[in-house]
Chain A
Amino acid sequence: MSESRKVVGAVALYPSPDALVAGLEEARKRGFTRLDVVSPYPLHGIDHLLGKGPSKLGYVALVAGLLGVTLSKVAQWWMSEVDYPLNVGGKPLFSWPAFVPVTFELMVLFASIATVISMLAIFNRLPQYGSSLLRSTLMRDLTCDKFGLVVDARDPQFTSGGIRAALGGSAVLGIDLLHEVRPSRFFSEQIFSVRFLLLLVAVSFVSVTATHLVWKYAGALPPFDFMKAQEKLNPQRASSIFADGQGMRPLQAETVPRGQLPYRFADDPDGAAARMVNPVPLTAAALERGKDRYDTNCRHCHGLRGRGKGSLTSAFPKAPSLHGIKVRNWTDGRIYHVLTVGQNAMPAHARQVERDDRWRIIHYVRALQRSLNAPDTDLQ
């Protein structure tokens, strides 16, 4: 604490509140106008002697509280009525009485946070780690059981030489001059040094890497993998639930699933032609379904209109047109036989297309044939 540094003020130490008040009154009589009192606990009535009115902090709390009320009501209305209307037991979407508790809590929260932050940072301009007063040797007493009168050096009555005499009195225990504190070199120079910046980069790198690894791998570990690691049945997968260790159930012996009766005419196309009729009634819905199945299962070879110009023709043996005399004269049963067991290069489609859908495809093929080779009756 060299004396060469600029003096920014002085503090005088008093043993009791009453002595402090006497000193304060004396200083004010001498014309000091830029002064304050330091005490280890709040002294009631000092505000009045310093001519200070009550703190305006209450208005901050009021505004923040009202803001909390407004924001929470608007947010609850928007979330529950506008963005995702949530019907609970037929109650109104904006059921405001049920929204009161959250509104109240947010009012208290907003008001409290605003009070504390504005008291510390705005009204009191804390933190003041670099304050000259904190460097004073009298600070130990001033936070324990003594009281101080502080005069700012900018006071017109203040002179470095004369202040000791001006503040001195029989009750004063000691006077300390307050010197300017040089700002820490850390914030002015070292914070921009290469070493410090490199340290920052290294710290960021380590934390980003650690976060990335945690996000990537921790989620795959139990118990966080609960969505994947479920005791459920998966076809084609092993399972501990059944005795045979399989997830898929085998068919029961001597049973046939619905819609999968064995085909009786596998080696008898003529029998199929003669003895089978289309069991599916010819309706608009059946034609729609037939078109859908045709487009899915047949079109790539037989083409959009059944003329044998499918998109696979270059890579696959050419499929015949469905508009030839032969196919046009076939019965539905004969076509069904080809769909079910296949013919030449065409594989059987019994596994891909269900029985009734095969009959619907035949309805659709008949409609295609009629569109290109309409009988005379259609033109009348």
Chain B
Amino acid sequence: MSQTATSFEPVPMILGEPTPAQVDADIAAPMGRIPGKRWWIAIAITSALMSLGMALIGYTVYTGIGAWGNNSPVYWGFGIVNFVFWIGIGHAGTLISAILFLFRQTWRNAIARFAEAMTLFAVMTAGIFPLIHTGRPWLAFWLFPIPNDMRLWINFRSPLAWDVFAVSTYGLVSFMFWYVGLIPDLAAMRERATTQAHRIIYSVLSWGWSGLNRHWRHYERAYLLLAGLSTPLVVSVHTIVSFDFATSIIPGWHATIFPPYFVVGAVFSGFAMVVTVLILLRQTFHMEHLITIKHLENMNKVILATGMIVGFAYCIELFTAWYSGEPYERFIFWNRITGPYWWAFALMFGCNVIVPQIHWFKKMRTSIPIMFVASLLVNVGMWFERFVIITTSLHRDFLPSNWGMFIPTAVDLGILLGSFGMFFSLVLIFVRVLPVISMTEVKAVMPGAQLSHHPGHLPARQPVEDVDV
């Protein structure tokens, strides 16, 4: 019995027993020094890619959507594939910061800040694609119900209109959640600042936060409320994204399994992206004692679990197509496996269903090189999942006379590369200017950080009066 009990003892999530001051110093270190050579090389590459993407976006806006490979019958090409991919990447951030917070998984404290920032950058990257897909992005405000001289309103029954509300709400709420979490850390950075400029910037951003209990009381409640609001929000966002497909009558899209299938797929790819970037981050900034192998192992377990659900969804889709007896539905799925895009289906199935199975083995899921490669492959697979769903369903639908192929152009590929450039440029800037790990949350769960006896059992006290200093 005692042996079973000890095996459930919590594993220390901070190694080497640093003092709280050392934790602060380790987290603040990358912000206080001039970046090294590796950082400059990295940002040179990512910002070059971003510039390439931006130039090609400018070219697309100037000439029109004909610069892309989209054509009859595949009207939705890379624009929508990339949109769904990047929105999905963001979902892991909210899952880590909100859902794991509600479940009191305190190990998430060390990775929540980075994951939330990743959410924000992924939503920003994703938001570009529907915008440029409209062809006239300067008129994109027509997507909102704004009173106008045509006296027209948007169609509230359209999933595309729901998308506008879902993605913009998600972006805003994610930003507020991330920023509220940052305020105490910004106050700490203000006190650590060595230059006047840093002090002013961090002062303004931290709203003059001092850490009075009078403030913490409302702060903690606000954080809890935001976590509670973000949790259904994150589920709703990818549900609505899946409605873009599921409410149509295209075979391969018109499926009730789409919402859960999309949400889980999003969490799956997002976790893989978090693992990819955190591996690089913890080694570059020497944060191995704060983002431990145990954190990575936990995330690999989530990848394994969500990968299994994604695999289950693939199989259920195939089963439903066969069991429905519907010839178009059956054909679409047979065409996915054996048609001209069989390689994309094979990549998707191999990377998303087979690769994560290695995480059954503790050796594999605690080995940095193996999990790094696995996380990259998962994201390749998840990108191809969206490609398979969009392309194969559209390119051969009901009428054989309407069949065609989708071939991306160089502009398509360039903008895809540019989106990665933009995302990683934002990540690289973020890790230099803001605390990449939440100092406040990590210190709050360190051994000895809280009262040794919770005073909840003591009789109620006379309330103190508010101080105003």
| Interface residues in chain A, defined as those with a beta carbon under 8 Å from any beta carbon in chain B | 8-9, 11, 16-18, 21, 28, 33-55, 57-58, 61, 75-76, 79-80, 83-84, 86, 88, 91, 95, 98-99, 101-102, 104-106, 108-109, 111-113, 115-116, 119-120, 123-124, 126-134, 139-140, 142-145, 150-152, 155, 178, 222-224, 226
Contact = CB atoms under 8 A, between A and B. Distances in A.
Contact of B213 (A36, A86, A109, A116): A36
Contacts, number: 261
B176 A116 contact: yes
16 contacts: A33-B465, A34-B465, A43-B216, A48-B460, A51-B463, A80-B156, A101-B166, A106-B169, A108-B169, A108-B236, A116-B226, A133-B212, A134-B208, A140-B192, A145-B21, A145-B24
Contacts of A127: 207-208
A158 to B, nearest CB: 11
Given A50-B213, A108-B169, A41 B449 contact: yes
B448 A40 contact: no
Shortest 7 CB-CB contacts between residues of A and residues of B: A51-B463, A51-B461, A145-B20, A41-B444, A119-B222, A55-B221, A79-B153
Contacts of B75: none
Contact of A126 (B188, B207, B220): B207
Nearest to A145: B20
Contact of B221 (A57, A120, A139, A152): A57
A115 B225 contact: yes
A101 B463 contact: no
Nearest to B228: A61
A144 B21 contact: yes
Given A51-B462, A51-B463, A51-B464, A99 B451 contact: no
Given A38-B211, A109-B172, A144-B188, A45 B240 contact: no
Contacts of A58: 221, 225
Interface in B220-244: 220-222, 225-226, 229-230, 232-233, 236, 240, 243
A128 B208 contact: yes
B134 interface: no
Nearest to B454: A45
Given A57-B221, A108-B229, A127-B208, A21 B441 contact: no
A143 B184 CA distance: 8
Interface in B141-200: 145, 151-157, 159, 161-162, 165-166, 169, 172-173, 176-177, 180, 184, 187-188, 190-192
B interface majority secondary structure: helix
A42 B224 CA distance: 13
A222 B61 CA distance: 10
A338 B165 CA distance: 70
Interface in B447-469: 448-452, 454-456, 458, 460-469
Contacts of A55: 217-218, 220-222
B191 A144 contact: yes
B156 A129 contact: no
Contacts of B159: 101
Nearest to B247: A98
B210 A115 contact: no
A40 B91 CA distance: 29
Given A42-B216, A43-B450, A139-B191, A76 B156 contact: yes
A interface majority secondary structure: mixed
A133 B461 contact: no
Nearest to B183: A120
A130 B450 CA distance: 30
Contacts of A119: 180, 218-219, 221-222
Contact of B156 (A53, A61, A98): A98
Nearest to B214: A36
A49 B177 CA distance: 29
A101 B443 contact: no
Contacts of A86: 153, 155
A40 to B, nearest CB: 6
A108 B173 contact: yes
A83 B153 contact: yes
B62 interface: yes
Nearest to A84: B153
B209 interface: yes
A349 to B, nearest CB: 41
A105 B230 CA distance: 11
A45 B213 contact: no
Nearest to B162: A101
Contacts of A116: 176, 180, 222, 226
B393 interface: no
Nearest to B438: A41
A50 B469 contact: no
Contact of A111 (B154, B211, B225): B225
Contacts of A88: 155, 157
B226 A115 contact: yes
Contacts of A128: 207-208, 210
A88 B220 CA distance: 46
B157 A133 contact: no
Contact of B188 (A16, A40, A42): A40
B218 A34 contact: no
Contacts of B276: none
A112 B226 contact: yes
B136 interface: yes
Contacts of B468: 8, 152
Contact of A42 (B19, B208, B444): B444
Contacts of B20: 40, 144-145
B441 A41 contact: yes
A39 B213 CA distance: 7
A79 B156 contact: yes
A78 to B, nearest CB: 9
B375 interface: no
Interface in B27-72: 61-64
B419 interface: no
B236 A48 contact: no
B458 A49 contact: yes
Contacts of A35: 464, 467
Contacts of B462: 33, 51
B218 A95 contact: no
A145 B461 contact: no
B18 to A, nearest CB: 11
Given A124-B218, A126-B208, A226 B467 contact: no
B151 A102 contact: no
